Amino acid sequence: MYLPFLGREGKIPPFLRRAGRKEDSYNKYWNPYIETLSLKEIREISFRKLQAQLKWLYENNKFYRQLWDKLKISPDDIKTPDDVRRLPIMTRRTGELPQFVQLEAELERLYSLDKESPNYKWQYGDFCTWGDRPELLAQHRQTSGTTGGTPARMGDTMRDWEYAQEGWCIAHWAQGIRPYDMATWFASYGLFIMWVSFYSMEKMGAQMIPAGGMDTKTRINMLTRVPITVLCTTPTYAAYIVDVAEEMGVDLREETSVRIITMAGEPLTQSAKKKIETGWGARAYDTYGSTETGLVWTFECADDYPSGNLHVIEDLMYVEVLDPNTLEPVKPGELGEAVITHLGRSSTPVVRFRTHDLVRVTEEPCKCGRGYARFIGGVLGRSDDMFKVKGTMVFPSLIENVVRKFKEVDEFQVIVEDAPSGVGKVFRLIIDPHPSVSPNTYDELKERIRQQFRTDIYVRPEEVEIVAPGSLPRFEQKAKRITFAKKEK
């Protein structure tokens, strides 16, 4: 099979340009056997893997064995997909439904254990299968904390790390990344789970250029000198680089070789995608995962670009989409919350983990030939971030889609408060303008933003405040733009 190069002609990777090649002869699929199965066949494999994972955890993981014994549940009871609902839901936060397994509360308790205590086992206690064999653990990652609560740490063995890389390899290959590419990751090395992307592209054979410890201007200068063709980062940072490059007088479209930007860490809204595409002259791909999941398990493919639809890798992750209020399964096309179970992680696996991420599933086949179901338009929001204004449900992604229509806006923050009436919420919008925007036009800009909100989502901010340029924080990794004001006691 032959896959045409993606992006503009001028951004063909230098190696192939020198060879006079405009197409590659690699297989279209990273895993041709699995990816081209029908959805029914993929889900049959997924369920068989789930049954094997549950049995393995019961035999090897003390945390799950004690939990299921307490609830009088045996892995042998899970004979059909409907039986999966007998297993308890796991959630990150405390303070939710009491019958849930409180992962965050459990981890907080385990982290606080004294190292001399006989109950102490590495950092994870009994939740980690290999808690009493720390020599098997090879990688540790931690959530950002942007969704509230104490960051949760997760550990992986080398085998788990291979499992995580496989999801990224499937995603990156589907987006057109190949061994002849030169790739970089724009973030300082740390606990951020997205670093597995770096290792996966290394596994695929791409040349990897580390870019940690650099500021944004240094990274931009590097891009103008080094023929890097693939960039992995967050949507917020990719958009921010466009602004900084403009200030430096650098045309990313003409002065860099970047043809693919693959992103994760936060939802990629259509307005942000458009800004990134325009500023870079490259394709802006979305992927989705989390620290708890350990891997990217959804991705936007080259053939369906730029729809924003995300393929769901159900042979690596058992996925349910449930009504966030009733926790009952929803039909294809209906809004629901993704609930996931690992099918390959051994050390700190989650079972029926409630992501709080809202999606709509389509089972219609994609023209790329993969049998995976897809999330329509990607992740649409979070069930714990949505709020109601005058009877209208509002998601952070909807707010960002409106704000990003204004080129005058560099960054923004949203503060959500209780409505004065006591019913529903109101929100205030804080705008950090581009330095070129004259203060004399601030009032006019505020009014245009209010009217755009009313047109697009039928509600508008209670107040729009414009602060001095550069006042709001910029984010290299996961952005936190929404703050829910705490009630006064």
> Do 114 and 50 reside in the same domain of the chain?
yes
Gap between the Cα atoms of 210 and 379, Å rounded: 29
Gap between the Cα atoms of 16 and 3, Å rounded: 14
C-alpha distances in Å from residue 104, one per residue of 108, 267, 287: 6, 23, 25
> Do 365 and 438 reside in the same domain of the chain?
no
pLDDT score for 355: 87
**Per-residue H/E/C for the chain:** CCEECCCCHHHCCHHHHHCCCCEECCCCCCCHHHHCCCHHHHHHHHHHHHHHHHHHHHHHCHHHHHHHHHCCCCHHHCCCHHHHHHCCCEECCCCCCCCCEEHHHHHHHHHCCCCCCCCCCCCCHHHCCCCCCHHHEEEEEECCCCCCCCCCEEEEEHHHHHHHHHHHHHHHHHCCCCCCCEEEECCCCCCCCCHHHHHHHHHHCCEEEECCCCCHHHHHHHHHHCCCCEEEECHHHHHHHHHHHHHHCCCHHHHCCCCEEEECCCCCCHHHHHHHHHHHCCEEEEEEECCCCCCEEEECCCCCCCCCCEEECCCCEEEEEECCCCCCECCCCCEEEEEEEECCCCCCCCCCEEEEEEEEEECCCCCCCCCCCEECCCCCEECCCCEEECCEEECHHHHHHHHCCCCCEEEEEEEEEECCCCCCEEEEEEEEECCCCCHHHHHHHHHHHHHHHHHHHCCCCCEEEECCCCCCCCCCCCCCCEEECCCCC
> Do 370 and 456 reside in the same domain of the chain?
no
pLDDT score for 149: 54
Structural domain includes residue 471: yes
Structural domain includes residue 489: no
> Do 99 and 210 reside in the same domain of the chain?
yes
Q: Domain range spanning residue 427?
A: 387-484
**Domain edge (last residue) among 328, 355, 384:** 384
Give the CATH number for residue 477: 3.30.300.30
- 230-287 pLDDT per residue, tens: 999 988 889 889 989 999 999 999 999 999 999 987 888 888 899 999 999 999 999 9
> Do 314 and 360 reside in the same domain of the chain?
yes
Give the CATH number for residue 364: 3.40.50.12780
> Do 163 and 299 reside in the same domain of the chain?
yes
> Do 362 and 392 reside in the same domain of the chain?
no
pLDDT score for 193: 64
C-alpha distances in Å from residue 351, one per residue of 68, 223, 302: 11, 42, 31
Strands 317-322 and 335-342: antiparallel
Strands 137-142 and 153-157: antiparallel
Using the predicted structure, report yes or no on whether residue 395 has a pLDDT greater than 70. Answer: yes
Residue 473 tokens read as 């924080």
Number of domains forming the structure of the chain: 2
- Euclidean distance between the first and final Cα of the chain, in Å? 65
> Do 430 and 314 reside in the same domain of the chain?
no
Q: Report whether the peptide linkage leading into residue 227 is cis, meaning its omega lies within 30 degrees of zero.
A: no
**Domain edge (last residue) among 355, 384, 413:** 384
Other beta carbons within 10 Å of 457: 17
Over range 119-124, report the average pLDDT. Answer: 47
Structural domain includes residue 270: yes
> Do 228 and 355 reside in the same domain of the chain?
yes
**Dihedral pair phi/psi, residue 482, rounded to 5°:** -110, 130
Over range 198-223, report the average pLDDT. Answer: 91
Structural domain includes residue 474: yes
Over range 128-145, report the average pLDDT. Answer: 77
Going by pLDDT thresholds of 50, 70 and 90, the confidence category of residue 12 is low
Q: Are 42 and 314 in contact (CB under 8 A)?
A: yes
pLDDT score for 318: 97
Gap between the Cα atoms of 264 and 313, Å rounded: 15
pLDDT score for 98: 37
**Domain edge (last residue) among 328, 354, 384:** 384
Q: Are 195 and 212 in contact (CB under 8 A)?
A: no
> Do 371 and 449 reside in the same domain of the chain?
no
- 316-368 pLDDT per residue, tens: 999 999 998 888 999 999 999 999 999 999 988 989 998 889 999 999 999 99
Structural domain includes residue 437: yes
* Buried-state track 142-158, b at ≥16 Cβ within 10 A, e below 16: ebbeebeebebbbbbbe
> Do 414 and 474 reside in the same domain of the chain?
yes
**Dihedral pair phi/psi, residue 107, rounded to 5°:** -70, -40
> Do 363 and 407 reside in the same domain of the chain?
no
pLDDT score for 40: 97
Gap between the Cα atoms of 365 and 102, Å rounded: 37
Structural domain includes residue 30: yes
Q: Are 84 and 78 in contact (CB under 8 A)?
A: yes
Structural domain includes residue 255: yes
Scan for tokens 């397994």, then name that residue.
101
